[in-house]
Amino acid sequence: MNKLIAITGKGGVGKTTVSALLIKNLLASGVSPVLAIDADPNNCLDAALGVTVACTVGRAREDARSSAGANANISTRELLRLKIEQGLVEARGFDLIAMGRPEGEGCYCYANNILKDIIAEISSCYPYVVLDNEAGLENLSRRIVQKVDMLVLVSDSSNAGLQTLIRLFELAAEMKMSYGKLALVINRQRSDTLPGRINEIRAKTSADIVIGLPDDEEIAAFAEKNGNFLEISETNAVYQKIREII
Ligand SMILES: Nc1ncnc2c1ncn2[C@@H]1O[C@H](COP(=O)(O)OP(=O)(O)O)[C@@H](O)[C@H]1O
Ligand SMILES: [Mg+2]
């Protein structure tokens, strides 16, 4: 059985950083290959992992939609699967697919349902799948999966950030998103102590894991040079702390 880990949270709180460092931890623990899915339309997980995506799933879906029926020997589903596989980036220890932009005008239910099937098929070939999402869960549940093994909600330690965290937790319930375990990650902490409200939030969400990650110089420096987070030092405190999620 493969394990799906989905990461979400407000924009800019560190979802991509956490995703990349989680993948680094999985690779270090000998799990391979990992499938990384960049489900944020402003995709940048590829850069954080030192690779470049040439064709997103959104593009593949548009291409498959516009050429559907043009070739009687291949179904839309097969065509889409083929295009998605062509867009898959293969790297050392992991593969990556980027979802790209959400759909435009028109009905995409059919295409999205096929898409979910195809992503499930591809995902089943990997022991671990890490999904880096945009803020919110709509895209995830509509286009990718409804059920994950672990949902990771990332926040900063501000009160507004924590409020969004609660909102995302409630949204998961509203969207009937099912998850095996829930992890709360409070990122970029300036002190060692978790925010005062965390016990209330832990109780409200029945979170399985709550971790705080420090605001880290090395990470900031890597981000400045658009660095590959897989190359961050083994002693990095954020990298080490994220291991608790695994
Ligand atoms: N623990 C941290 N310490 C220092 N900088 C961080 C940390 N986590 C994230 N950042 C920085 O914050 C910015 C936003 O992070 P990112 O992972 O891209 O957020 P998101 O994916 O949620 O939009 C990046 O410049 C990143 O390097
Ligand atoms: Mg991101």
Q: Where are the domains of the chain?
A: 3-245
CATH architecture entry for 3-245:
3-Layer(aba) Sandwich (3.40)
Tell how far the Cα of 204 is from the centroid of ligand 1, in angstroms. Answer: 26
CA 133 to ligand 2 centroid distance, Å: 7
* pLDDT attached to residue 186: 98
> Is 70 exceeded by the pLDDT of residue 107?
no
Question: Secondary structure of the chain: what % helix, strand, coil (to 5)?
Answer: 45, 20, 35
Ligand 1 pocket list (CB less than 6 A): 9, 11-17, 187-188, 213, 215-216, 219-220, 223, 238
Write the CA distances from 61 to 70, 109, 116, 195, 237, integer angstroms. 15, 12, 12, 43, 40
Between the ranges 7-16, 57-66, 75-84, where is the mean pLDDT highest? 7-16
Least confident of 82-86, 106-110, 216-220: 106-110
| Cβ neighbourhood burial of 160 (10 Å; 0-12, 13-18, 19+) | exposed
- Mean pLDDT value of segment 38-63: 89
**Residue ID of nearest Cα to ligand 1 atom 24:** 223
**Higher pLDDT, residue 64 or 212:** 212
pTM of the model: 0.94
Percentage of the chain beyond pLDDT 70 is 96
